[in-house]
């Protein structure tokens, strides 16, 4: 057994413990009779009853006084929030479909927000105004007495009761769904460098004659991150031990593969969760990934299954090309791609990811440098059609990410990155899924891996 393998396993065990202890995003079904102490209630006017009734958290807002989620002295909406780390997340708030703002009766409002402080926050919500047939989907950045609206969209499908907000890095995606549909509509992708300290939901009223409003929250869901898995980490070293002290395979540098077999003298298999099948059939390698468990290629505990070969003796590569023949990802967040590892780090947590995934509505090209608990997103771009080939061209420290569409010979270059500080010690491919217990099953098939 390689010494650094033992170190790797110990690292992952410690990392699972650390993430469990640091986990701070907490969902709530409001079925405990009393509001949990994870929540802070803020009622600046002091006239709103906020309490759990029949497994719902209710806001009972009186008429005649404004309770607006706005700037300056108008920042008077009651809200409930929990303190959270300044990390990535996907959260969803579900309001009672029978207690929504009434179209044509201004102004009742509800939604979700993230905050740095009570007076500095991002608001994502909806409201009803005097229009009897349309609701308003709204987003604004509030900082004390200033505001900057980034979304004001009228919709005739009715007022949404489900609000979903995702945050990765400085990118926020806001989506809603109505009671009659589970299909979420993305309304805005917004960039903000706000330092998040809290997340929660609000209800309110406003206008010259603010109407009474009773709003009820059915649940607050954490879709990402999920609690760290409790399984024991596993790592399958598929190489045959040799006389080389470190146990590294004896291939002199690297090799292309058309996957007529899974050559375990060339490839190592990494399956941290231990539930993925790697199947070779008809000259192709398929990752068979079950649903219900997250296999993400991300920071922290990176659980995506992957195969890799180590690059020995300081060998340099100039190009990697992979072709996928399986149907492209369509469900949130199915993924596959190329990765490059720095195996000088014994925890194997420092890598470059050049991939493709779906957010459930869009095809996303994605690239990032992951180092332990930190991630630097290099590229996140919506494209019209899913590629079936991915290529990395390396020229010194410059990496260029290219893709090609099925039945087309032309590759499109999407971005180039100068990554001079990244030491290359391994290359390979991965596939995965995300969104915790809602992670969809995914079969990703690679036809070949070409490297020179």
What pLDDT is attached to residue 348?
A: 59
Task: Give the residue with greater pLDDT, 231 vs 103.
Answer: 103
What pLDDT is attached to residue 430?
A: 96
What pLDDT is attached to residue 312?
A: 62
Give the range among 16-20, 250-254, 403-407 with minimum mean pLDDT. Answer: 16-20
Find where tokens 């497994």 sit: 55
**pLDDT over 80 at 251, yes or no:** no
Contacts of 129 (CB under 8 A, 6+ apart): 106, 107, 136
What pLDDT is attached to residue 313?
A: 54
Give the range among 115-129, 274-288, 335-349 with minimum mean pLDDT. Answer: 335-349
What pLDDT is attached to residue 36?
A: 92
The rounded distance, in Å, linking the Cα atoms of 356 and 137 is 30
Residue 83 burial (CB count, 10 A): 15
Per-residue DSSP letters for 172-234?
Answer: EEEEEE-TT----EEEEEEE------EEEEEEEE-SSSPPPEEEEEEEEEEEESPPPP-SPP-
**pLDDT over 80 at 401, yes or no:** yes
CA angle 107-57-216, nearest 5°? 35
What pLDDT is attached to residue 407?
A: 83
Share of the chain above pLDDT 90, in %: 59
- Note the pLDDT tens digit of each residue in 318-374: 899 999 999 999 998 899 999 998 865 445 578 899 999 998 888 899 998 888 878
- Note the pLDDT tens digit of each residue in 181-195: 877 888 998 999 999
Please give the model's pTM, rounded to 2 decimal places: 0.53
E strands in 290-341: 306-310, 319-324, 335-341
**pLDDT over 90 at 200, yes or no:** yes
- Note the pLDDT tens digit of each residue in 124-167: 999 999 999 999 999 999 999 999 999 999 999 889 999 999 99
């Amino acid at each position: 057994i390689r010494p650094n393998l033992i170190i790797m396993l110990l690292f992952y065990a410690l990392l699972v413990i650390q993430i469990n202890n640091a986990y701070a995003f907490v969902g709530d079904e409001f079925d405990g009779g009393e509001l949990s102490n994870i929540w802070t209630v803020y009622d600046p006017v002091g006239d709103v009853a906020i309490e759990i009734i029949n497994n719902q958290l209710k806001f009972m807002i009186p008429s005649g006084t404004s309770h607006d989620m706005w700037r300056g002295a108008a920042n008077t909406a009651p809200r409930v929030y929990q303190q959270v780390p300044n990390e990535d997340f996907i959260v969803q708030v579900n309001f009672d479909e029978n207690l929504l703002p009434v179209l044509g009766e201004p102004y009742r409002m509800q939604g979700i927000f993230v905050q740095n402080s009570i007076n500095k926050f991002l608001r994502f919500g909806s409201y009803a105004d005097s229009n009897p047939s349309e609701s308003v989907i709204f987003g604004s950045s509030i900082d004390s007495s200033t505001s900057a609206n980034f979304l004001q969209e009228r919709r005739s499908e009715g007022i949404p009761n489900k609000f979903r907000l995702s945050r990765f890095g400085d990118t926020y995606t806001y989506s809603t769904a109505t009671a009659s549909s589970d299909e979420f509509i993305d309304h805005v992708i917004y960039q903000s460098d706000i330092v998040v300290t809290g997340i929660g939901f609000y209800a309110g009223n406003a206008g010259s004659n603010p109407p009474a409003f009773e709003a009820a929250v059915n649940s607050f869901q954490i879709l990402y991150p999920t609690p760290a898995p409790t399984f024991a980490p596993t790592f399958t070293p598929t190489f045959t031990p040799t006389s080389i002290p470190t146990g590294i395979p004896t291939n002199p540098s690297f090799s292309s593969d058309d996957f007529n077999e899974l050559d375990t003298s060339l490839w190592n298999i990494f399956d941290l969760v231990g539930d993925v099948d790697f199947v070779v059939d008809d000259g192709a390698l398929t990752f068979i990934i079950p649903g219900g468990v997250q296999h993400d290629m991300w920071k922290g505990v990176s659980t995506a299954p992957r195969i890799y070969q180590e690059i020995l003796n300081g060998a340099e590569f100039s190009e990697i090309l992979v072709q996928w023949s399986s149907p492209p990802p369509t469900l949130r967040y199915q993924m596959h791609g190329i990765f490059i590892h720095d195996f000088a780090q014994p925890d194997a947590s420092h890598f470059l990811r050049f991939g493709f995934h779906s957010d459930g509505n869009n095809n996303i090209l994605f690239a990032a440098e992951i180092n332990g608990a930190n991630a630097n997103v290099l590229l996140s771009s919506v494209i019209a059609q899913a590629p079936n080939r991915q290529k990395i061209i390396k020229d010194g420290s410059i990496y260029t990410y290219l893709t090609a569409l099925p039945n087309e010979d032309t590759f499109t270059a999407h971005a180039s990155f100068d990554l001079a500080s990244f030491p290359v010690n391994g290359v390979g491919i991965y596939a995965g899924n995300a969104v915790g217990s809602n992670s969809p099953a995914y079969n990703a098939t690679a036809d070949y891996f070409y490297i020179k």
